[in-house]
C-alpha cells in the first residue's frame, strides 16, 4: 500500500492519476488520503509534530492499524524557519531536528519490519537547501537538518540493501504550493516582480515546480522501474542546483 505521510507539499503531492507506474496490487491497495475519505485519521496522524520517540511509535501503531501491510513510506513532514544564525535559539533548532530528522528516523524504524516483509521502499523528501544557499536566506538549522536527512538516506540504503528495502530521497526546488503562493501574494508589487526575475535567473528551466512534479518523481522511485535505485538523492529542482 502506498503510505502517504505528506505534509510539507500538502495532499496533492501524489494524485491517483500519477500512480500508473505502480503495480496493479499497489494500485488496488492505494489509499489517497484526502480529508474527505478519512478526515479524522488524516488529521490526527498527518498533522502531528511529535518530539518524543513514544509519540512517533504511537503514530506508527495507528498507521499499521489502518494500513497493516505498507509497501512504501514517504517521509514528507518538514519545518523551515529562516532565522539568522546569531538569532537561532535552542527551541527552534530542536524543532527543526525533531521534525526534519528525528521523526522520519524513528517513524521509519517503527515501520521497517512491515516494509521489510513486503520488500518495500522509503522516500525521504529533502531540500535543495542541503547543498545550495540563496541570498538573504538564513538557513543554517534547516540546511543542517536536511543534510542530515540526506546522510540518513544513504546510510540506511547501505544498511538495508541486502533486505531488499530501497531508500531514496528527493530534493525539490521551490514548489508552487498554496503557502508559497500566499507568500508571493502578500509581497509588495516590486518584490513580486523581483521574485519573478530571480526565478528566471536562478532556475535554468525558468520556472518553479508544482507538487505534481515532485509526485511523479516519487511514484517513479516507488515503482518497479526503479528497482536498481537506492541511496540516491534526486534533485527535482528545474536545474537550480546546477548553478
Mean confidence (pLDDT) of the chain? 84
Can you name the residues that pair with 236 across neighbouring β-strands?
Answer: 172
Q: Whose CA is closest to 99, among 47, 150, 63, 137?
A: 47
pLDDT value, residue 20: 58
Burial tier of 243 (Cβ tally within 10 Å: 0-12, 13-18, 19+): exposed
Q: Is 142 a catalytic residue?
A: yes
Radius of gyration of the chain (CA): 18
Percent of the chain residues past pLDDT 70, beyond the cut: 79
Dmax of the chain from CA atoms? 55
pLDDT in tens, 47-88: 445 568 998 999 899 889 888 888 999 999 889 999 999 999
Percent of the chain residues past pLDDT 90, beyond the cut: 67
pLDDT in tens, 194-224: 999 999 999 999 999 999 999 999 999 999 9
**Is the pLDDT confidence value at 38 over 60?**
no
Which position among 9, 105, 142, 203 bears the catalytic label? 142
Can you name the residues that pair with 125 across neighbouring β-strands?
Answer: 170
pLDDT value, residue 4: 39
pLDDT value, residue 10: 35
What does the alpha-carbon distance between residue 183 and residue 221 come to, in Å, rounded to a whole number?
30
Does 243 or 235 have the greater pLDDT score?
Answer: 235
**Is the pLDDT confidence value at 35 over 90?**
no
DSSP states along 19-40: GGGS-HHHHHH-----TTTSHH
Amino acid at each position: 500500500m502506498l503510505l502517504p505521510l505528506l505534509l510539507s507539499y500538502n495532499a496533492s503531492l501524489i494524485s491517483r492519476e500519477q500512480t500508473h507506474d505502480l503495480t496493479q496490487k499497489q494500485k488496488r491497495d492505494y489509499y489517497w488520503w484526502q480529508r474527505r475519505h478519512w478526515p479524522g485519521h488524516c488529521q490526527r496522524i498527518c498533522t502531528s509534530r511529535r518530539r518524543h520517540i513514544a509519540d512517533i511509535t504511537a503514530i506508527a501503531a495507528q498507521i499499521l492499524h489502518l494500513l497493516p501491510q505498507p509497501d512504501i513510506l514517504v517521509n514528507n513532514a518538514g519545518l523551515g524557519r529562516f532565522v539568522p544564525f546569531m538569532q537561532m535559539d535552542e527551541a527552534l533548532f530542536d524543532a527543526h531536528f525533531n521534525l526534519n530528522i528525528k521523526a522520519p528516523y524513528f517513524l521509519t524504524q517503527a515501520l521497517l519490519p512491515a516494509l521489510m516483509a513486503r520488500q518495500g521502499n522509503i522516500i525521504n523528501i529533502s531540500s535543495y537547501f542541503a547543498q545550495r544557499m540563496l541570498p538573504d536566506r538564513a538557513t543554517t538549522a534547516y540546511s543542517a537538518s536536511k543534510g542530515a536527512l540526506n546522510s540518513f538516506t544513504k546510510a540506511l540504503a547501505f544498511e538495508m540493501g541486502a533486505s531488499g528495502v530501497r531508500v531514496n530521497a528527493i530534493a525539490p526546488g521551490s514548489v508552487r504550493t498554496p503557502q508559497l503562493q500566499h507568500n508571493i501574494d502578500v509581497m509588495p508589487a516590486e518584490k513580486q516582480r523581483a521574485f519573478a526575475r530571480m526565478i528566471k535567473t536562478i532556475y535554468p528551466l525558468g520556472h518553479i515546480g508544482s507538487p505534481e512534479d515532485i509526485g511523479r518523481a516519487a511514484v517513479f522511485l516507488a515503482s518497479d522501474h526503479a528497482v536498481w535505485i537506492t541511496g540516491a538523492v534526486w534533485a527535482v529542482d528545474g536545474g537550480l542546483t546546477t548553478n
